[in-house]
Amino acid sequence: MVSWFDKPVKSRNLILAVSLFWVLFANMSFFQHITNAYSFSGIGMVHIASVAVILFASSVLLLTLLTNRWIFKPVLILLLMLTAAVAYFMDTYDIVVDTHMITNTMQTNVNESADLLSWKMGLYLVLLGVAPSWIVYRLQIVYPPFRVQALNDMKTVGIALGGVIAVMLVFSQFYTSFFREHKPLRYYANPAYYLYSVGKYVSKAFSHNYSGLQVIGKDAKIPASDVDRELVILVVGEAVRADHFSLNGYARETNPLLKKEDIINFSQFSSCGTETAVSVPCMFSSFGREKYEGDKAKHTENVLDVLSHAGVHVLWRDNNSDSKGVALRGEYQDFKTPENNTLCDEGECRDEGMLVGLQEYIDAHPKGDIVIVLHQMGNHGPAYYKRYPKRFEKFTPVCRSNQLEECTPEEITNAYDNAILYTDYFLSKTIAFLKQNDSKFETAMFYVSDHGESLGEKGLYLHGFPYTIAPDAQKHVPAIMWFGKNFAIDKEALKRKMHKPFTHDSYFHTVLNFTEIDSSIYNSELDILYGVH
């Protein structure tokens, strides 16, 4: 008996079938957002159908360009798997796969990836990826002679393009409004937008010809009049949103320990990006958000390098994925494993473990200023319930799943707020540690989160949304300062700045002021401490 897999199939027919499959099953988020923007009745239904035609035609165009007999099958199988994965993340977390998200994905470690695994993800990959890929693998695809294939492909491309143009002309008024007022909808077109983003990502990687390392702040020095030693701890938070800090007016008491300290809380602080891979290197760079480019930052020194030029001892301790390239040229210690972190439980290494052994490092440097960076695991999602020891589970019930849409808003918020409680505890321990060194140093702590987090508002979860349309929850971050008794600071003057708007653009120059460094790269207009220290 001859299997239908043994029957020859034309590549064009397979392209049409896969394109239709994607429109019907891999674009649930796309059509959900469209139906939210337009009525699914009357002329609205016709408009939505026309968008589906364009989505179908765009996939046909893409796949037709790949009908080379040597690459068609493997590339099509790869696209099926990728499109299935993208569909899962968009449908589950409302995540958009743009160039920044691709950068973030490339820098994600195994533990972070494991937190995202679920039965639902497996189901998506099997039904939308593995099953159709197996069918494609088994099919006997017929390829005519090259000239005939080229002619057929040209016809297919012509028909697809003609269809797109015809639809846009017929509904020109609708599409004029569509592209002007609903630009974000295109981010959900699968696979069109993620493939566009991949192309843009690759193009950026090869278009910039940065060679070597651009040295900055080589003239950095600490004034001879500054005889007192500074010990500054910079805490980089993870995925904490400002509106869940009780210090910022949140109804729940999420900062019970910090409120007892004499801290300066900046209530209007905005991040450089909406994901770690952008925000962390951006905040330590001198470029600011508007001029920041990932590749340029990799080939340019950052504020830690400038500190080193001035003779400051710099240490980076990391309980997150890594420093995102910021600490490549300095002393770096990985605290994500029990080998270095003595405070690990249930497969999680705790942020407070980064304080263990820190006194030994300080004592080993009897001269010069010291700046220590502590990069938290913080509120890294979606498994918020893993980010704190059991004793910090004050708010219950909690979401104990990485499938956030399966939990109630209350359960998600409870787990998230418990993680903030632990950050409050960690920061209070950091302050206590600095107080123990008050007799030998001018001590200070500066805490800022890298970005915020969405907890299901309007169907959005996690972070990484394109900055221009990202909700404030992903961009409005907490920022606090604490100063030891010997630190020369006009606190009353600084408190008058507490409710002024600041951004990560200020981070580079403010850090330089903590150690009173003079340099041509320093910009007082971006320094939070200017005029008070």
Query: In this predicted model, what pLDDT tens digit does every residue of 335-379 receive, in sequence order?
Result: 999 989 999 988 899 999 999 999 999 999 999 999 999 999 999
Mind listing the pLDDT tens digit for each residue in 132-158?
Answer: 999 999 999 988 888 898 898 899 999
> What tokens were used for 454?
């969405």
Mind listing the pLDDT tens digit for each residue in 255-313?
Answer: 999 999 999 999 999 999 999 999 999 999 999 999 999 889 999 999 999 999 999 99
Whole-number Å distance between alpha carbons of 377 and 321: 8
> What tokens were used for 384?
């918020």
The domains of the chain, with CATH numbers, are 4-207 (no CATH), 230-526 (3.40.720.10)
Characterize the bridge pairing of strands 263-270 and 476-483. antiparallel
> What tokens were used for 331?
């002393």
State residue 524 phi and psi, 5-degree precision: -65, -25
**pLDDT value of position 313:** 98
Q: Is the pLDDT of residue 246 over 90?
A: yes
Task: Tell me the average pLDDT across 320-335.
Answer: 94
At 180, is the pLDDT very low, low, confident or very high (cuts 50, 70, 90)? confident
**pLDDT value of position 90:** 94
**pLDDT value of position 443:** 98
Given phi > 0 = left and psi -120 to 50 = alpha, else beta, which region is 522?
A: beta
Whole-number Å distance between alpha carbons of 27 and 20: 11
Q: Among 202, 124, 131, 112, which residue's Cα sits nearest to residue 386?
A: 112
Mind listing the pLDDT tens digit for each residue in 21-40?
Answer: 999 999 999 999 898 888 76
**174/363: higher pLDDT:** 363
Which amino acid does the sequence have at 116? L
Q: Among 356, 362, 266, 354, which residue's Cα sits nearest to residue 314?
A: 362
Task: Tell me the average pLDDT across 489-502.
Answer: 97
**pLDDT value of position 3:** 61
Helices 28-37 and 72-93 sit at what angle, rounded to 10 degrees? 50
Whole-number Å distance between alpha carbons of 286 and 214: 12
Mind listing the pLDDT tens digit for each residue in 183-226?
Answer: 788 899 999 999 999 998 888 777 666 668 999 999 999 988 87
Whole-number Å distance between alpha carbons of 358 and 346: 24
> What tokens were used for 8?
């020859």
**pLDDT value of position 483:** 98
Residue 381 C-beta-side C-alpha neighbours within 13 Å: 30
**pLDDT value of position 80:** 97
Give CA separation, 284 vs 122, 281, 287, 508, in Å: 38, 5, 9, 6
Please name the residues in contact with 57: beta carbons below 8 A apart, sequence gap of 6 or more.
19, 160, 161, 163, 164
Q: Which uninterrupted H or E stretch holds 503? A: strand 502-503
In this structure, are residues 449 and 237 in contact, taking their beta carbons and an 8 Å threshold? yes
Beta-strand (E) ranges in 107-160?
Answer: 140-142
Please name the residues in contact with 515: beta carbons below 8 A apart, sequence gap of 6 or more.
222, 230, 232, 307, 310, 312, 369, 371
Characterize the bridge pairing of strands 313-318 and 263-270. unpaired
By percentage, how much of the chain surpasses pLDDT 70? 98
**pLDDT value of position 208:** 62
Length of the chain: 533
**Mean pLDDT across the chain:** 93
Q: Is the pLDDT of residue 2 over 50?
A: no
Mind listing the pLDDT tens digit for each residue in 76-102?
Answer: 999 999 999 999 999 998 888 988 888
> What tokens were used for 528?
């939070």
Give CA separation, 358 vs 44, 312, 438, 490, in Å: 63, 16, 15, 28
Which amino acid does the sequence have at 88? Y
In this structure, are residues 483 and 434 in contact, taking their beta carbons and an 8 Å threshold? no
Number of Cβ within a 10 Å radius of residue 395: 19
Q: Among 419, 334, 352, 406, which residue's Cα sits nearest to residue 380?
A: 419
**pLDDT value of position 176:** 77
Please name the residues in contact with 528: beta carbons below 8 A apart, sequence gap of 6 or more.
266, 494, 497, 502, 506, 510, 513
Whole-number Å distance between alpha carbons of 505 and 92: 33
CA 161 to chain centre: 35
Which amino acid does the sequence have at 253? E
Q: Is the pTM of this model over 0.75?
A: yes
**pLDDT value of position 1:** 41
Task: Tell me the average pLDDT across 403-430.
Answer: 97
Q: Is the pLDDT of residue 436 over 70?
A: yes
Whole-number Å distance between alpha carbons of 390 and 161: 58
